[in-house]
Structure 1
Amino acid sequence: MFQQPSNMMEGQLHPLESESEIGRMRDDELDSTTKSGSENHEAASGDDQNPRPNKKKRYHRHTQHQIQEMEAFFKECPHPDDKQRKELGRELGLEPLQVKFWFQNKRTQMKTQHERHENTQLRTENEKLRADNMRYREALSTASCPNCGGPTAVGQMSFDEHHLRLENARLREEIDRISAIAAKYVGKPVVSYPLLSSPMTPRPFEFGAQPGTGDMYGAGDLLRSISSPSEADKPIIIELAVAAMEELVRMAQMGEPLWMTSLDGTTYVLNEEEYIRTFPRGIGPKPTGFKCEASRETAVVIMNHINLVEILMDVNQWSTVFSGIVSKASTLDVLSTGIAGNYNGALQVMATEFQVPSPLVPTRESYYVRYCKQHAEGTWAVVDVSLDNIRPSPTARCRRRPSGCLIQEMPNGYSKVTWVEHVEVDDSGVHSLYKQLVSTGHAFGAQRWIATLDRQCERLASVMATNVPTGDVGVITNQDGRKSMLKLAERMVMSFCAGVSASTAHTWTTLSGTGADDVRVMTRKSVDDPGRPPGIVLSAATSFWLPVSPKRVFDFLRDENSRSEWDILSNGGVVQEMAHIANGRDTGNCVSLLRVNV
C-alpha cells in the first residue's frame, strides 16, 4: 500500500472494519469540515483479517493532486463503475477500494450539505410566516372601529381571523409543494395537508344543464375507458397543472416572435420553433402524424370576471354555454375546490368531447386537468392540459397543450378575455369541405371560443335586462315571458347541435349522393329531454357550397318573408312574426315567435 506524508492536504477517510464503525466514521467526517475527504484508512491485508484487540489502525492522507483529480472526476461522474474506479486508481496510485470509499463519502457529504441548505430555506420561510402571523394578531388585537374609535366587534374579529387562517393554510400548501419537489433530490417523504373545502358563493344566475352532461353515456371508447386518477398520479397532475398555468399566462401575454401576425392581419399564428425554445419542457414531443393547431384571440365581454370563472369551473354551465363546441363533458375527480370561498386553486380532472355541428368533422375526445388561479386582484386564469402521458391510449387523436383563458376585470361589469387554444390532433378524418375551416381555427380555435362566449354574454345580458322599451311592436317586455322564451331557444340550440354533429354517441349512415353532397341519417333515443316526448329522433344532414357570402345566407334564412322558399312546413303559407326578443348588438341576433297562416 502507499504511505502518504502526514503533512499533505486533506484526503478521504475510508473504513475497513464493521458497518457500525463505518457509520461512526462518516458522522465524524461529516461533522468536521476539516476532515471532509482528507483521510483514508489503509486497506486490510489477509493477515489483518485476524482480530487483534491491541492492533493500531493505520490511516492514509490523499495528496492534493489525488484530491483535485477525484474532485474533477466527481463533477463529471459522481457514480463511477468498477472499470472507471480501477482506471482512476491506476492513474492516481490508489486501490479501487480507496477510490470507491472516497466517492461514497463525497456523495454523502454533498447530500448532507444539500439537506442543510434546504432545511435552512424552509426554516427561514417558516420564521417569516410566524412573524407575519404575529403581526396580524397584534393588528387584530389593537384594531378599532373607524366610526366610534372603540374596539372592533367580536364578530368582525372572528371573520378576519378566519380569513387569516385560510391565507396561512394556502401558504403552508405552497411550502409543502416546494418541499415535495425538493424531496425528489434528497429522498424525504412528501407531507400533504388536507385540501380546504369552502362553500362557493351563490351565483346570481344559472345556465341550464345540457342533456347528457355530467356523465359520459354514449361517449367514445377513449372517454368510456377513463376513470378517476389514482393517488399516485395526483402529485404528478398537480405539478403538470402548475407548469401549464405558467405557460398559458406567458402565451397570453407574449407577442413576437412567439406569435406572428397572419398575412391578412386578423389573427395570430404560433411560431412552433420559438415555442419549443421558450417552453422546452412541455408534455413531450408531438406524436407522429399529428398536426399543431394554435390560436389566440382577445375580446371584451359584458360579464363580471367572477361570473366568468364560475361558468368555466362548473361543468354543467360550461358545456351549456359552449354547447356548439362541447358535445359531452364530465368531471372525473376534484383534486381541490379552491380556497377562501372561491375557485382560486381549484383543480378538476375532466373528460370532454369537442364537436363541430356537422357529421363531416370527427369529434375530438380529450382527457385533461383544469386548473383555476387568481394571479392578482381582478385577474384570473383557467388552464387545461392533457393527461395522456399518465394514461396513454392508442385511440387518442387529440392532445391539449396548455390552453385556456386569461380574464381581467374591466369597469362597469365588463371583462377582458384572452383565449389561447393549442392542440395537437390527427385531422385525417376531416372531410375536404371542412379542411380549411378546421385548419384556420374557425372550427375549434380561440376565435370560435371567444365568439361563442361573447354571444352568450350578450344573450345573458338581455335576459337580465329590465329597461326593455315598451313602444316597439311585437317586443316581449314581460320578464318571465322573456326568460321562458330564451330558455326554449337555448334548448333548441342544444338539441340542434346534438342532432347534427359527428358525436361518437351516435352513428351516421349515408343514404345517397356522391362525395360532398352525401345525405346522411342518424337515429337516437330521446330520454328525459325537456320539452320533447320520449321516443326515437330521426336526423338527416347534408353539406354543400353556395357561391354567396355567409351574411347573405344568414339574412335569407332569418327573414320570415323568404321562409316559404326553403321551409317545407311553410310552403304555400304566409309566415308572420308575432313577437321577438333582441339578444345582441346585431339586429340579426334575436329570438322570434312565428305563425304560419295556411
Structure 2
Amino acid sequence: MENITGRENDMDAIAELAQSAMHEFVVLAEAGGPLWMPVPGGSFDVLNKMAYAQTFGARSSANVILGFMTEATRADDMVMMDAKQIVDYIMDSECYTSFCPGLLTSANTTKIYKWPTSAGYNGAMHLVTVETVFPSPLVPSRKCTFVRCCRDMQNGTVIIVDVSLDNGDGTVKCHKMPSGVLVRSLNSDASQVTVIEHVQVNDTGLHELYRPSLSGLMFGARRWVSSIVRQSARMRDLFVVSKSASNGNGRKTLMKIADGLLAGYASGIAAVPGGGWTILRGAGTEDDIRISYRRNNDDSNTAIVSVCASFHLPVPHRVTFDLLKNNLLRPKWDVLVNGNSVREEVAVCKGVGGGIDDVVSILHLKDPPTGENRDNIMILQNSSYDVSGAFMVYCPVNIQLMNEIMSPSDTAESNKVSLYPTGFYLLPVEDTALGLGEGGATLVTVGFQIMLKLARGTGLYPRSASTAVGLMTENIATIKKTLTSSHPIFYRRQPPNNFI
C-alpha cells in the first residue's frame, strides 16, 4: 500500500486509497471460504492470510513488518435499528463513543476531506483518531488514525470503510488495513450488520496471560458487533417502555449512567495516560495488583483511585458469568453486599433477547434476620454476556438520588452524578473441543474505584495504597474460592439466576 503519510491534503492520493479500500472491503464482507475460517461455535470468522495474499497480492498485509502482528476478523448479526440511525452513530465521532461504551475511550474527527451536500453521510470522508481499550491492566490500549469513508450502495446497503494513510512502516503502533461496517437494511426497524476489523499492530506490552487467547478476540469484529447489537436493543427497549411508563425519562437517565459506569470502569482499568490516569504501582496480575489514580475535577485535594488485577480462573466463561450474576452466591464474595441478601427490584432496560443475560438493573439489599430492605443502599448494575466476552459493572446509589432520577419530573442530570464502579470483565480461554465460552477457562479482570485524599505532595498516602492492595488481594481469593467450589455443585443443581 502506498505511503502517503504527511500528504493528508493530497486529495487525489487519498481518494485513490479510499476507492481501493472500499473495493477490498466489499470483497471481504461478501466472501465465504477460503478467505474466512469460522471459529468453533461460529461466532465470528478469522481471515485466512494465505488466501488473502493470493487474492490481493502486493496490496495485502502478508508482509508484516518486524515486531508487528496481523489481526483480521469478521462478524455479523441482526441489529434492532434502522440503517440510517446506525450510520449516523458511527459517522458522528461523539455518538460513536456512546455507541461502544467500554470499548472506545476517545474518537475524534481531526479533518473533514469531503462533506456530502445531500442528506445523510453518502460520500463523506473524514480523518478519524480513535483509542480502543480492553478492560485489563495487562492489555495495552490501541490508538489508530485512519480515513473513514461512507458510501450508499444498492438495495439499501451502506458501507463505512476505514483505512490508515500510512503504510505500516513502524512509525505508528496500529495500522488499519481496509476495515469497516456494512449495513444492510432489512426493514424500518432492523438491519443486518457485518463488521471487519483488520489491523497490523505492535503488541509489545501484552502480558503472557492473554497471548493464548484467540487472535482478534479482545479487539476484533465480534466485540464491535456485540456492542452495537446490545446498545441498539437497549435503546429499543427504552423506547417501548417510555411510551407506556411515567418514569421513561428516568430510565433513559439510568441507562446513560450505566453506560458511564462501564466506560469509567474500562478507562480506569486501562489507565490510559491521555485520560489523566497515573499508574502508581503494580503490573496488574493477581500477585502484583495495579493502582492508578487521577485527580478529582471537583476537588483538587482528592483523587479517583482505580485498583485492579487480572487472573486465570479454571471455570468456563459461561459458568463464570452465571455464578457472578447469581444473587444467592453474591453475599459470599461481594464486600458491598456484606452478607446481606440481594433482590432485583427493577430491570431498567433489557438488551439482546430481552433476558437476564443483558440488562441494566436496580438491586436492593435485604437484612436476612428481618427480611427488611436496607432502604439507604441500592445498587445500579450493568451486565451483559456474549461468547466473546462478558461484563458485570455496578455501584451503590443513594436512595434519595435514585428516587429523584426515577421521578416523573426527572430533574436530575446524569452528568452531575459521580459514581465509582466496581466490576468484572470476562474473556473466554479457547477450548477447541467445544464452542467458544462453553468449555475451557476464563480470564477475569476485577477492579474497583474509590475516592481518596491526596497527600500534601503528589500521589496517594502510602498507607492508603497498601490498604487498597490488601482489600483486593482478599477479594480475589474469596471470589476464586466461591466460584471454583460452586461450579461443580451449585451451578448444576440450581438455575443460573435466582432472586430471593
TM-score bucket (shorter structure): 0.5 to 0.7
Which residue of the partner structure matches residue 360 of structure 2?
Answer: 591
Whether 2:320 is the aligned partner of 1:549: answer no
1:129-528 equivalences under 5 Å are 232-262=9-39, 266-282=43-59, 285-389=63-167, 394=171, 396-437=172-213, 439-466=214-241, 478-505=247-274, 506-511=277-282, 516-527=286-297
- What is the distance in 1 between the residues matched to 2:178 and 2:283? 42
- SS for the counterpart of 1:440 is coil
Please state how far the C-alpha of 1:468 moved relative to its aligned partner. 7.9
Shift of 1:421: 1.1
When residues 535 and 372 of structure 1 are mapped into structure 2, their CA distance, relative to the original with a 3 A threshold, is: farther
Which residue of structure 1 aligns with residue 440 of structure 2?
A: none
Structure whose residues are more often helix by fraction = 1
Q: For the Cα contact (< 8 Å) 2:89–2:96, is it kept in 1? A: yes
Q: Is 1:359–1:501's contact at 8 Å kept on the other side of the alignment?
A: yes
CA–CA separation in structure 1 for the residues paired with 2:148 and 2:186:
24
Distance 1:445 1:522 in 2: 27
Structure exhibiting the larger radius of gyration computed from Cα positions: 1
The separation in 2 between residues aligned to 1:443 and 1:540, in whole angstroms, is: 21
Higher relative contact order (CA 8 A, sep 6+): 2
1:572 CA displacement = 3.5
Query: Contact 2:331–2:339 (CA<8 Å) still a contact in 1?
Result: yes
Residue 403 (structure 1) shift = 0.6
Whole-Å Cα distance in 2 between the matches of residues 561 and 432 of structure 1? Answer: 34
Matched ranges for 1:30-45 at <5 A: none
Aligned-pair CA distance for 1:496: 1.1
- Residue number in structure 1 paired with 2:338: 571
How far off its partner does 1:245 sit? 1.0
Q: Give TM-score scaled by structure 2 length.
A: 0.66
Supply the distance in 2 between the matched residues of 1:517 and 1:537 (Cα, whole angstroms).
23
SS at match of 1:279: helix
Would the alpha carbon gap of residues 393 and 263 (structure 1) be closer, same or farther in structure 2, given more than 3 Å must change? closer
Amino acid at match of 1:548: V
Deviation at 1:453, TM superposition (A): 1.0
Q: Which amino acid aligns with 2:235?
A: L
Q: CA deviation at 1:376?
A: 1.6
8 Å CA contact 2:82–2:187 kept in 1: the answer is no
SS in 1 for 2:85: helix
Bigger mean CA deviation after superposition, 255-264 or 346-355: 255-264
Aligned counterpart in structure 2 of residue 559 of structure 1, from 312, 322, 326:
326
Query: Structure 1: which amino acid aligns with 2:313?
Result: L
Q: 1:548 & 1:342 partners in 2: Cα distance? A: 47
| Identity rate, percent | 34
Correspondences of 1:36-185 after superposition (within 5 Å): none
Deviates more, 1:580-589 or 1:518-527: 580-589
**2:93 aligned partner, one-letter code:** V
Q: CA deviation at 1:382?
A: 0.4
Secondary structure of the residue aligned to 2:184 is: strand
- State the one-letter code of the partner of 2:312: W
Q: Gaps (5+ residues) in structure 2?
A: 368-500
Q: Indicate conservation of the 8 Å contact 2:138/2:283, yes or no.
A: no
SS at match of 1:323: coil
Give the match's secondary structure for 1:344: coil
Paired position in structure 1 for 2:392: none
> Secondary structure at the residue paired with 1:404?
strand
Q: Tell whether the 8 Å contact from 2:34 to 2:51 is kept in structure 1 after alignment.
A: yes
Structure 2 Cα separation of the partners of residues 356 and 348 of structure 1: 25
Distance 1:283 1:326 in 2: 27
What's the CA shift for 1:545?
1.7
CA deviation digits over 1:494-513, x for unaligned, max 9?
11111111524334343499
Deviation of 1:267 after TM superposition, in Å, equals: 3.8
SS in structure 2 of the partner of residue 553 of structure 1? helix
Does structure 1 conserve the Cα–Cα contact (< 8 Å) formed by 2:43 and 2:75?
Answer: no
Question: Do the aligned partners of 2:251 and 2:349 also contact (CA within 8 Å) in 1?
Answer: no
1: CA distance, partners of 2:254 / 2:317: 27
Per-residue deviation, residues 233-278 of structure 1 (Å, max 9, x unmatched): 3332222112111110111011222223446655423222221232
Aligned residues: 358
SS at structure 2 position matched to 1:241: helix
Deviation, structure 1 residue 533: 10
Residue 295 of structure 1: CA displacement?
A: 0.9
More strand by share: 2
Query: Could you tell me how far apart the structure 2 residues matched to 1:463 and 1:329 are?
Result: 25
8 Å CA contact 1:363–1:504 kept in 2: the answer is no
- How far apart in 2 are the matches of 1:279 and 1:243? 11
Task: Tell me how large the CA RMSD over aligned residues is.
Answer: 2.7
Distance 1:510 1:375, change over 3 A: same
TM-score by length of 1: 0.56
Paired position in structure 1 for 2:398: none
